[in-house]
Amino acid sequence: MTEQHDVSQSMDPRFQELIPGAPSLSEVTNEIAGPIERGPGKLWWGAFATAASALTLGVILVAYTVGTGIGVWGLDRTVGWGWAITNFVFWVGIGHAGTLISAILLLFRQRWRTSIARAAEAMTIFAVMCAGIFPIIHMGRPWLAFWVFPYPNTRGPLWVNFRSPLLWDVFAISTYFIVSLVFWYVGLLPDFATMRDRVKGWRGRIYGWLSLGWDGSTKSWQRHEKTSLLLAALATPLVVSVHTIVSFDFATSILPGWHTTILPPYFVAGAVFSGFAMVLTLLLMTRKLMHLERYITPDHLDKMAKVLLTTGMIVGFAYATELFIAWYSSNPYERFAFWNRAFGPYGVGYWIMVFCNVVVPQVFWSAKARRNVGLLFVASIFVNIGMWFERFNIIVISLSRDFLPSSWTHYVPSMVEVGILVGSFGLFFTCFLLFVRYAPVVSFHEVKVTLAEQKHGAHHAADEDPVSPRSNWTGDTFGTSASRTGGIQS
């Protein structure tokens, strides 16, 4: 138990302080903007140098792949989708959770989202960028990538096949990227305005341009809140649709191990799971690098660990269901596909997945573990690894041994493929580190709303009879002025 807990409990058990110590409004501005204005420390530079080196490696290897051809990868005619598509699904999964976290927690009025939403949204944008690279370089001739969009052409015009799940993917992921970007930017506008009014010189001018002349007038806030709420309401089904459509890439084909109706919910649950793990990894880094311990508290980490535990068990349940249905179907091909997944030549990958995704999160039954920063960091990395293997298992193991034993192969990635994965991590972390360096990673205006509510919550909790010690909010309807952080009224 931390100190702030004792303080809040002395007031009222119903009321939980999200931001300890109740800082003043200008303290919030100074504490969040301070690290940006002071410039980064040694830790940041170390992390940035590592990420930028990995990115450089990736750029070189992508150039080599494009210049030489896809033959530099380990793919063959049996395993036509290998490492690159595994990485694509992995990154899309991580990307999907960011907006889901931000939007769903907004719709469900979870005030604790304030401190993590911005980082989660940024993670989405960068992860979808990483994801997008893989199918494009997988085309072999990436300069023709625009062929995936329907545009008037001299070949008929011949249109794209709107009945293909791969084409649905193009639309789903581009829409998702654009909507996520817009959602993130709209949230950033008032915060860029705060930076504009603090920072002098050319940097202040850049923040000024980015803030689009935001003036904080009540009418603008009213529209801003409504837009945020609408974008969240649009983004939530969008997220579910996008990962469902990614799973259709597999589920609508007739390969044993892919051709199954469980894939859409299985993919969505996996995306939330891996996304929360990555948010946890990033936030643990960020609170250290940018000194935001007051805003990203053990309470936030505790809640994220609980989500990780829950979604981990949903994913575990999906693994068990898959095995059961394969056995229950009495279909020899289906049974073989799953037997081969667990006990075939790639069996190690399956058990790594089970260990990382199902066994590791079980430590979070312990309240102590949920607040142990080191353990959380290690566990979140394990989950990231496990979720990468989940995609590898689905894609490569299913492809490598299908109906016809004469065409079975054993796919091994080349060093080029491994290097490109490292490069994609480089891109992701380079972008994220630049983001925390130049933009407020915790939203000024949302924290201020949370503080105002916290103040009201404390007053009201003291006035009224305690109803339930578990509820830390006093209820709200979808009113006209519901705020982005979930306007609390009483």
Partner 1 sequence: MSTRKTTNRRAVRYHVLVLDDADRTVDAVRRLRRDGFDLHDVYTPFAVHELDVEMGLPPTRLPWMTLVGGTLGVTLGLGFQAWTATSSWPLNIGGKTDLALPALAPVTFESAVLLAALFSVATLFVASRLFPRGRPPSQPIAAVTDDRFAIVVREADAAFDPGKLAGVANEVGADPFIESWKVE
Q: Which of residues 20-59 bind partner 1 (CB under 8 A)?
A: 24-26, 29
Q: What residues between 431 and 460 interact with partner 1 by CB under 8 A?
A: 444-446, 448-449, 452-453
CB of residue 411 to partner 1, shortest distance in Å? 30
Distance CA 157, CA 168 (A): 20
CB of residue 44 to partner 1, shortest distance in Å? 25
CB of residue 110 to partner 1, shortest distance in Å? 17
Is residue 476 a contact partner of residue 487, using CB atoms and an 8 Å limit? yes
Distance CA 438, CA 191 (A): 11
Among 9, 78, 175, 414, binds partner 1 (CB under 8 A): 175
Torsions phi, psi of 426, nearest 5? -60, -45
Of the pair 387, 441, the CB lying nearest partner 1 is at 441
By the rule CB under 8 A, 197 interacts with partner 1: yes
By the rule CB under 8 A, 7 interacts with partner 1: no
By the rule CB under 8 A, 168 interacts with partner 1: yes
CB of residue 221 to partner 1, shortest distance in Å? 4
By the rule CB under 8 A, 220 interacts with partner 1: yes
By the rule CB under 8 A, 201 interacts with partner 1: no
Q: What residues between 248 and 267 interact with partner 1 by CB under 8 A?
A: 248
Is residue 11 a contact partner of residue 462, using CB atoms and an 8 Å limit? yes
Select the span of 99-107, 164-172, 268-276, 467-475 touching partner 1 (CB under 8 A): 164-172
Distance CA 384, CA 352 (A): 11
Torsions phi, psi of 14, nearest 5? -75, -25
Among 96, 113, 138, 196, binds partner 1 (CB under 8 A): 196
Residue 6: C-alpha distances to residues 9, 10, 12, 149, 450 (Å): 5, 6, 10, 58, 20
Q: Which residues, including other chains, have CB under 8 Å from residue 111's CB and lie 6 or more apart? A: 18, 450, 453, 472, 473, 485, 486, 488
Distance CA 208, CA 306 (A): 39
Is residue 55 a contact partner of residue 478, using CB atoms and an 8 Å limit? no
Distance CA 414, CA 74 (A): 5
Among 159, 324, 343, 365, binds partner 1 (CB under 8 A): 159
By the rule CB under 8 A, 135 interacts with partner 1: no
CB of residue 189 to partner 1, shortest distance in Å? 7
Select the span of 88-96, 120-128, 241-249, 343-351 touching partner 1 (CB under 8 A): 241-249
Distance CA 131, CA 242 (A): 13
Encoded tokens for 468: 């339930």
Select the span of 42-50, 89-97, 181-189, 388-396 touching partner 1 (CB under 8 A): 181-189
Distance CA 169, CA 271 (A): 16
Select the span of 123-131, 232-240, 321-329, 331-339 touching partner 1 (CB under 8 A): 232-240
By the rule CB under 8 A, 217 interacts with partner 1: yes
- CA 381 to chain CA centroid, Å, is 14
Encoded tokens for 22: 């109740």
Distance CA 289, CA 355 (A): 30
Among 65, 86, 115, 194, binds partner 1 (CB under 8 A): 194
CB of residue 215 to partner 1, shortest distance in Å? 4
Distance CA 17, CA 28 (A): 15
Among 17, 31, 225, 299, binds partner 1 (CB under 8 A): 225
* Residue 431: CB atoms within 10 Å: 18
Q: What residues between 385 and 414 interact with partner 1 by CB under 8 A?
A: none
Distance CA 441, CA 285 (A): 12
By the rule CB under 8 A, 113 interacts with partner 1: no
Among 21, 49, 63, 205, binds partner 1 (CB under 8 A): 205
Of the pair 16, 244, the CB lying nearest partner 1 is at 244
Q: What residues between 138 and 157 interact with partner 1 by CB under 8 A?
A: 150, 156-157
Site size toward partner 1, by CB under 8 A:
72
Q: 145: which DSSP letter?
A: G
Select the span of 68-76, 168-176, 408-416, 433-441 touching partner 1 (CB under 8 A): 168-176
